[in-house]
């Protein structure tokens, strides 16, 4: 790296986004820093390559988005990696989908001297993960997505009166890899089972679990706003392969039997790892999206990061569907639907408790605690 004099700047956010459609919640996460941070924020998309002249800048804070670590090899070129390694900035890495790529994550954190990790893993599991395996000095728990300014505005724009909604119950899921376990599989299990159980009910349903039927951008909130109710499950997985014990065996089985069913590979291998070790289930950004358009949520029972309360914010559906009749009784009652959607909007959206504004303000406070002062703070202090 050049030894020429470096220009000092605020915060550099490095992320990866293909030119193709990107889920809105990812865009919101990236945009939230420039919208709300006290620091001067510049952003670089690694998809576009290493910018000319970047090496001339030394930032106070270097933020690495979770989008960089979605697959391996990570979306970080050798040029970017060298820049990160050589930077004297306070380095913050955001991670999601932490059930995979632990050897690569560990090597990156230690090799690039990451100071702080934002993680979806809950604090009771910090010791056996990041504290045991990495040199990161600070760990912060966060949820996968928050409520953006855009989402609040679009929620109001796309929300319809209950009587005007054309769909009773909607849902979009996606297939998952077997190695993610039965927890992740709930995303595509809930759809066909609900359709089967609701057959003959007279409900208008638009429920799909195929990848090609997913909806993006404004079309997604428009779809939710046209549904009286939506199905949902917790985000995350039920198999957390921290020590990389399961993956080699899994890959060998899949190589020999690429069309093996989930039930069969579960019997042969996955049952040994289900719901053991690190707990990795959490609230999904979809919960906030549904709340923003006052769609009544029918969710598989779960913890939902301690944020949601059954019969206050949503109707709880047992995973064996044994309470299906009671779920339908509650859902068909417009008074109950209204109470649940009003509660969810009040507590999740209107309160601002889970807004990106609150999230970034807390992020800035953590930087201040680490001794990093923004230009805005210096100006306020008169220095």
SS (H, E, C) the chain: CCCCCCEEEEEEEEECCCCCCCCHHHHHHHHHHHHHCCCCEEEEEHHHCCCCCHHHEEEEEEEECHHHHCCCCCCCCHHHHHHHHHCCCEEEEECCCCCCCHHHHHHHHHHCCCCEEEECCCHHHCHHHHHHHCCCCEEEECCCCCECHHHHHHHHHHCCCHHHCCEEEEEECCCCCHHHHHHHHHHHHHHHHHHHHCCCCCCCEEEECCHHHCCCCHHHHHHHHCEEEEEECCEEECCCCCCCCHHHHHHHHHHHCCCCCHHHHHHHCHHHCCCCCCCEEECCHHHHHHHHCCCEEEEECCCHHHCCCECCCEEEECCCCCCHHHHHHHHHCHHHHHHHHHHHHHHHHHCCCCEHHHHHHHHHHHHHHCCCCCHHHHHHHCC
What pLDDT digit, counting tens, does each position of 296-307 carry? 999 999 999 999
Determine phi and psi for 292, rounding to 5 degrees: -70, -20
What is the structure's pLDDT at 2?
43
Are 242 and 128 in contact by the 8 Å Cβ rule? The answer is: yes
Q: State mean pLDDT over 120-141.
A: 97
40 pLDDT above the threshold of 80: yes
Give dist(CA 366, CA 345) in Å, integer. Answer: 28
pLDDT at 22: 66
% of the chain at pLDDT higher than 90 = 85
Report whether 15 contacts 68 (CB < 8 A). yes
Does residue 278 register a pLDDT over 60?
yes
- What is the pLDDT confidence band of residue 244, given thresholds at 50, 70 and 90? confident
pLDDT > 70: percent of the chain: 95
Q: What is the mean pLDDT of residues 108-125?
A: 97
pLDDT of residue 376: 66
- pLDDT higher than threshold 60 for residue 134: yes
Residue 240 binned pLDDT confidence (cut-offs 50, 70, 90): very high
Mean pLDDT calculated for residue range 120-145: 97
Q: Is 317 left (phi over 0), alpha (psi -120 to 50) or beta?
A: beta
Q: Looking at the predicted structure, is the pLDDT value of residue 1 above 50?
A: no
Give me the mean pLDDT over the 244-268 stretch: 95
Tokens of 39: 């620091």
Most confident among 14-18, 333-337, 373-377 (mean pLDDT):
333-337
Structure tokens at 277: 């070790």
Amino acid 230: pLDDT: 98
Q: How confident is the model at residue 216 (pLDDT cuts 50, 70, 90)?
A: confident
pLDDT at residue 75 is higher than 90: yes
Tokens of 170: 């909607």
Flag whether pLDDT at 149 surpasses 70: yes
Predicted confidence band at 8 (pLDDT cuts at 50, 70, 90)?
low
pLDDT at position 379 is: 57
- pLDDT, mean of residues 97-104: 93
pLDDT digits (tens, 9 = 90+) for 171-187: 999 889 999 999 999 99
Describe the crossing of helices 218-225 and 285-292 by its angle, rounded to 10 degrees. 60
User: What pLDDT does 203 receive?
Assistant: 97
């Amino acid at each position: 790296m050049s030894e020429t004099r470096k220009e000092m700047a605020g915060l550099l956010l490095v992320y990866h986004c293909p030119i193709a459609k990107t889920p809105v919640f990812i865009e919101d996460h990236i945009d939230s820093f420039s919208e709300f941070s006290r620091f001067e924020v510049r952003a670089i998309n690694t998809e576009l390559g290493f910018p000319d002249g970047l090496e001339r800048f030394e930032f106070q804070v270097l933020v690495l988005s979770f989008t960089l670590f979605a697959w391996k090899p990570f979306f970080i070129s050798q040029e970017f990696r060298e820049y990160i390694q050589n930077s004297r900035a306070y380095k913050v890495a955001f991670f999601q989908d932490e059930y995979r790529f632990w050897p690569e994550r560990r090597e990156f954190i230690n090799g690039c001297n990451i100071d702080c990790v934002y993680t979806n893993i809950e604090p009771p599991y910090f010791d056996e993960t990041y504290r045991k395996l990495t040199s990161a000095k600070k760990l912060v728990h966060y949820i996968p997505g928050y409520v953006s300014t855009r989402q609040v505005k679009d929620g109001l724009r796309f929300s319809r009166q209950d009587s005007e909604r054309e769909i009773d119950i909607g849902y979009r899921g996606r297939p998952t890899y077997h190695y993610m376990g039965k927890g992740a599989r709930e995303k595509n299990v809930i759809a066909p089972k609900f359709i089967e159980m609701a057959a003959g009910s007279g409900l208008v349903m638009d429920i799909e679990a195929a990848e090609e039927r997913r909806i993006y951008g404004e079309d997604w909130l428009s779809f939710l706003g046209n549904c009286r109710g939506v199905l949902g499950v917790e985000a995350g997985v039920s198999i957390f392969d921290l020590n990389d014990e399961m993956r080699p065996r899994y890959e060998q089985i899949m190589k020999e039997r690429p069309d093996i069913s989930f039930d069969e590979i579960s019997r042969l291998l996955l049952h040994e790892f289900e719901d053991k070790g690190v707990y990795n289930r959490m609230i999904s950004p979809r919960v906030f999206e549904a709340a923003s358009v006052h769609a009544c949520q029918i969710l598989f029972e779960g913890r939902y990061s301690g944020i949601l309360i059954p019969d206050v914010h949503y109707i709880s559906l047992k995973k064996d569907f044994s309470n299906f009749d009671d779920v339908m009784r509650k859902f068909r009652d417009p008074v109950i639907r209204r109470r649940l959607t009003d509660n969810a909007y009040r507590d999740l959206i209107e309160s601002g408790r889970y807004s990106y504004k609150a999230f970034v303000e807390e992020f800035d406070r953590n930087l201040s605690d680490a001794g990093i002062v923004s230009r805005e703070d210096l100006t306020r202090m008169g220095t």
